[in-house]
């Protein structure tokens, strides 16, 4: 046991040396890196020039730690930082934290004084401090606020699997001092670029070129023909890869974009990996952050939600099914939404600000999670057109929210669905740069006039919306006020 006020310098120095081998080798170990850099990497690198504390939040096993090591590697290999001026600390490292009264302050002091031979308040150059699993550090927000306010030459980057706690602490203690970045599982475009690596640059150029710029121009000017033209150019540019990309989409609809499953062909192993991630979210995040002591009931709720994912689900019905009361169900749903296991879509009632809060569609946020829970991650799934259609809607819903976040990072994206008395239903409505855009998903081989009926009914009732988007399996073109876009092509936009 360390005596009061006595800092175990040698122990801390050894622990830091084990976690920061680049101090002696000059490079990050290859085992800690992944050769593919996902899209999140580039905006995160850009944010390193900002003085504010960078908070990377997101669900478990989304790739946050790997991305942090890639950032460290880039800092060192590009010459932006000397190896010893980059510190990585995992607070999920019990040997490092045990018996320390002031873990962060003690670690930083030992690092600057014994490794850099400098004072933390008088640093010769900027240092980069990466703090992983920071939620294990009690009152980390207050501690980092105190350090930030001292105006030292330190850029702090923090992450953690317990995202609700990360965000709450940042909001509570770090107002005006923090920049947040949400990192979810890999988007479709990242998975495609990883798996079709020889064509990755071409795909990226089309994705960020005619697709993204064309969609943004459509939002700014509302010209449906120009949007169709931009997507036509993109389609033609990637036509020679369509079959391969369609194959990638089929796989994505089954297991989604968990980074650790990228190179795993055994679907049973993919399913087990996803189930483990869900268990960790429930048994660590939900139980610890929300003081929930009924994880088995949360698991049962996730099973029921997986079976009804993408449907309107009443809390009273869930309460009756699970033998719980209404308030408990509402509380559990908020917990699952906070750890990114479910995503909610509200009933649209003519205004984005007058939705009906209890008439909700609830999606399992990651389609791989939904399929793993239901035992659908298997080879037979490729022949199940009904389930693939449901998965296509869920993936579209997820990527539309991501697109909204990319276009307006400071705004929390929300989605809605619409139904009329005639039985017409539009799957997804959201606001993109101030424009209301309705989306319908028809992931099947043939498309006919009735498939645009719901979108046209919505547009008739909501004249402020100029046009709608029908996401299809292969069909491309314009039909009146509706543009039809193959799902794979739209997902590359997001």
Boundaries of domain holding 61: 9-183
Residues 212 and 84 in one domain: no
The confidence score (pLDDT) of residue 211 equals 93
CA gap 309, 253 in Å, rounded: 14
Mean pLDDT of the chain, nearest integer: 91
Q: Tell me, yes or no, whether 94 lies in a domain.
A: yes
Q: How confident is the model at residue 4 (pLDDT cuts 50, 70, 90)?
A: very low
Residue 448: CB atoms within 10 A of its CB come to 9
pLDDT digits (tens, 9 = 90+) for 349-377: 876 555 555 589 999 999 999 999 999 99
Q: Has residue 324 got a pLDDT over 90? A: yes
Residues 267 and 151 in one domain: no
Structure token digits, residue 405: 């976040």
Q: Has residue 290 got a pLDDT over 50? A: yes
Residue 220 — φ and ψ, nearest 5°? -75, -40
pLDDT above 70 covers a percentage of the chain that reads 94
Residues 113 and 74 in one domain: yes
Answer whether 249's CB lies under 8 Å from 441's CB. Answer: no
Residue 102 — φ and ψ, nearest 5°? -130, 75
The confidence score (pLDDT) of residue 2 equals 47
Q: Tell me, yes or no, whether 4 lies in a domain.
A: no
Point out the least confidently predicted range of 106-120, 138-152, 456-470. 138-152
Q: Distances in Å between the alpha carbon of 246 and those of 89, 131, 192, 200, 489?
A: 41, 39, 10, 15, 9
For the segment 444-467, the average pLDDT, to the nearest whole number, is 94
Q: Has residue 283 got a pLDDT over 90? A: no
For the segment 183-210, the average pLDDT, to the nearest whole number, is 95
- Which is it for the CA torsion 454, 346, 63, 86, positive or negative? positive
The confidence score (pLDDT) of residue 1 equals 43
The confidence score (pLDDT) of residue 138 equals 76
Point out the least confidently predicted range of 27-41, 192-206, 340-354, 396-410. 340-354
Characterize the bridge pairing of strands 342-347 and 356-364: antiparallel
Answer whether 396's CB lies under 8 Å from 487's CB. Answer: yes
Q: Residue holding tokens 């980059």? A: 86
Residues 144 and 196 in one domain: no
Structure token digits, residue 124: 């010769």
Among residues 150, 183, 216, the one where a domain terminates is 183
Q: Residue holding tokens 């120009």? A: 226
Q: Distances in Å between the alpha carbon of 157 and those of 23, 57, 120?
A: 19, 11, 17
The confidence score (pLDDT) of residue 351 equals 62
Point out the least confidently predicted range of 63-77, 150-164, 295-309, 424-438. 150-164
Residues 276 and 229 in one domain: yes
Q: Residue holding tokens 């031979």? A: 117
Our count of domains for the chain comes to 2
For the segment 285-310, the average pLDDT, to the nearest whole number, is 88
Sequence-ordered strand ranges (E) for 183-296: none
Residues 85 and 213 in one domain: no
pLDDT digits (tens, 9 = 90+) for 125-184: 999 999 998 877 777 888 899 889 999 999 999 997 765 566 666 667 777 888 888 899
For the segment 311-338, the average pLDDT, to the nearest whole number, is 93
Q: Tell me, yes or no, whether 143 lies in a domain.
A: yes
Q: Has residue 3 got a pLDDT over 60? A: no
The confidence score (pLDDT) of residue 357 equals 55
Q: What is the CATH number of the domain that holds 83?
A: 3.40.50.300
């Amino acid at each position: 046991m360390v005596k009061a006020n006595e800092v175990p310098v040698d122990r801390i120095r050894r622990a830091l040396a084990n976690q920061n081998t680049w101090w002696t080798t000059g490079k990050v170990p290859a085992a800690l890196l992944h050769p593919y850099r996902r899209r999140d990497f580039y905006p995160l690198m850009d944010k390193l020039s900002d003085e504010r504390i960078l908070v990377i939040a997101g669900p478990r096993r989304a790739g946050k730690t790997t991305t942090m090591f890639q950032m460290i590697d880039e800092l060192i290999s590009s010459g932006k930082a000397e190896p010893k001026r980059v510190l990585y600390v995992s607070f999920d490292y019990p040997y490092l934290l045990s018996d320390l009264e002031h873990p962060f302050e003690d670690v930083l002091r030992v690092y600057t004084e014994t490794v850099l031979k400098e004072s933390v308040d008088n640093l010769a150059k900027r240092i980069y401090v990466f703090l992983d699993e920071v939620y294990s550090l009690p009152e980390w927000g207050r501690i980092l606020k105190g350090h930030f306010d001292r105006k030292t030459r330190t850029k702090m980057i923090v992450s953690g699997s317990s995202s609700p706690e990360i965000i709450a602490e940042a909001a509570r203690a770090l107002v005006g001092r923090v920049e947040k970045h949400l990192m979810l599982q890999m988007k479709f475009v990242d998975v495609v670029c990883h798996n079709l690596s020889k064509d990755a640059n071409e795909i990226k150029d089309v994705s960020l070129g005619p697709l993204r710029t064309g969609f943004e121009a459509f939002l700014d000017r509302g010209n449906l023909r120009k949007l169709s033209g931009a997507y036509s150019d993109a389609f033609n540019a990637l036509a020679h890869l369509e079959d391969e990309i369609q194959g990638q989409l089929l796989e994505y609809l089954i297991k989604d974009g968990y980074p650790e499953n990228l190179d795993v062909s055994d679907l049973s192993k993919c399913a087990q990996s996803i189930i483990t991630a869900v268990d960790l979210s429930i048994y660590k995040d939900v139980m610890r952050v929300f003081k929930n002591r009924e994880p088995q009931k949360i698991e049962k709720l996730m099973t029921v939600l997986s079976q009804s994912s993408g449907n309107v689900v009443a809390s009273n019905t869930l309460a009756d099914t699970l033998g719980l009361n209404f308030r408990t169900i509402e509380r559990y749903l908020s917990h699952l939404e906070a750890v990114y296991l479910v995503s909610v879509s509200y009933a649209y009632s003519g205004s984005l600000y007058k939705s009906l809060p209890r008439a909700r569609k609830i999606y399992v946020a990651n389609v791989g999670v939904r399929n793993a829970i239901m035992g659908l991650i298997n080879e037979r799934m490729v022949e199940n057109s009904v389930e693939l259609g449901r998965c296509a809607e869920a993936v579209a819903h997820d990527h539309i929210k991501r697109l909204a976040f990319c276009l307006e990072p400071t705004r929390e994206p929300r989605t809605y669905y619409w139904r009329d008395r005639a039985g017409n239903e539009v799957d997804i409505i959201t606001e993109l740069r101030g424009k209301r855009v309705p989306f319908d998903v028809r992931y099947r081989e043939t498309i006919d006039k009735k498939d645009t009926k719901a979108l046209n009914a919505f547009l008739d009732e909501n004249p402020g919306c100029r046009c709608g988007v029908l996401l299809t399996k292969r069909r491309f073109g314009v039909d009146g006020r509706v543009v039809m876009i193959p799902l794979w092509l739209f997902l590359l936009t997001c």
